Each structure stands twice: as C-alpha cells, then as structure tokens.
Structure 1
C-alpha cells in the first residue's frame, strides 16, 4: 500500500539551528536510515556539528553554502553532497530567501535494526 506523507510547514520543529520535519516515526516505514526535510531561514546558518553516521544532503530549493571542516562549497537546488562520518559541517544561508534540503543519515546500527524488523515482518 502506498502512503504519502505531506510536508507540514506550519509545524516544523527546530533542530541544529534550522526548522525541519523528521522522517521517523512512521509506523508503516521500515528503513535502514533516518531523514529530515530541512528549512534554513534566510540570513541564518545551521549549528556546526559532527557525528558517526554517514549522511547525504539533497538541495531542493534555493542556494546556500556548505561548510565542511572549514572549507566552503556552493550548495544549490539539484546538488547532492555526501558527508563522511566525523566531518564538522554546517549550512550557511546568506541569501534573502529560505534554503531547503533533505538530509538522510545512516549507520551500521540502523542497518542491523532494519534487518531485524524485516525478518520479523517476513514471518
């Protein structure tokens, strides 16, 4: 059965200096990853951070800069970036309009839990 989740712009939650909507919890979805729709308001930047997960960002709307370990890169709608574990990163929106991207992250633990749920549901 197909289930479509709508983006609820009126109820985005703050995290890491931006507003977002997390992918999980979603009872019908069994995935080996987590994700979030992210909105970085005009003239702001996300909180610099690093973590052990692998991560990709998919730029959906607008233009910003991605700062990875102190090196800046243009990041515009249509771009996809891979962030390896341990890098310190933030997104900087110096523009006059909001920037939107989708972030997806995963690690070995998420994969193992996915496989266990998959096996359980297959029985």
Structure 2
C-alpha cells in the first residue's frame, strides 16, 4: 500500500543587515505561485463578471486570454485590475490555471473554479 505524505518546508529565521528576517512555508504543492500571482488571481476573481465579458460583451462564465488582454489594454479598468489581468495572461500562470480545477487538456479558458483552485 502506498502512503501519501505532506512535504513541509522548514521555517528559517536569520538576521540580514541587523534586521530579523523570517521565512516560512506551508505544505508544498504542485502549483507554484508567488505573492504577485496570488494577488492577481484574487483581483481577477473579484472582477470576474466584468472581465469575462470584456472582449465580446457576453457573460459565458469563462475568461479567455483575449478577455484578459482586452482588460490589460483598456482604460475602462483601474490600473490594479489591468495589471492583474496582464499577470494572469502570462503563459506560465494562464496555462497553470487553465487546468487547475479539473486537470485534463488546456482549453484556453478559465472558469471561476480554475481561479479558485489555481494556487492551493
């Protein structure tokens, strides 16, 4: 029988130029996201309805790369939303999110479930 294990990274504290620095991590996961990725994903989630219809005006429950690019290049959105859209549109993150919820083949579309599962 195969046992599964959680891999944990150790917490480290050190002093750098007189400033205490602590680094800690939780369980390791297959999805590798940095803080910028997480903030961008959360922002896209918060504006999901507006972003999903940015390119063609249709509310289909899916965000395509063209929707993200339209948002990133639009003056109708705040700089934070535009920046977040451009980050999520980057191939590394977009492809990771594309299959986050259910796995399988990439289809070039992000669902709300993909965004929620993206960086767990």
Give the TM-score, by structure 1 length.
0.22
The structure where helix makes up a greater share of residues is: 2
The structure where strand makes up a greater share of residues is: 1
Q: Bigger relative contact order, structure 1 or 2, given CA contacts below 8 A and separation 6+?
A: 1
Give the TM-score, by structure 2 length.
0.23
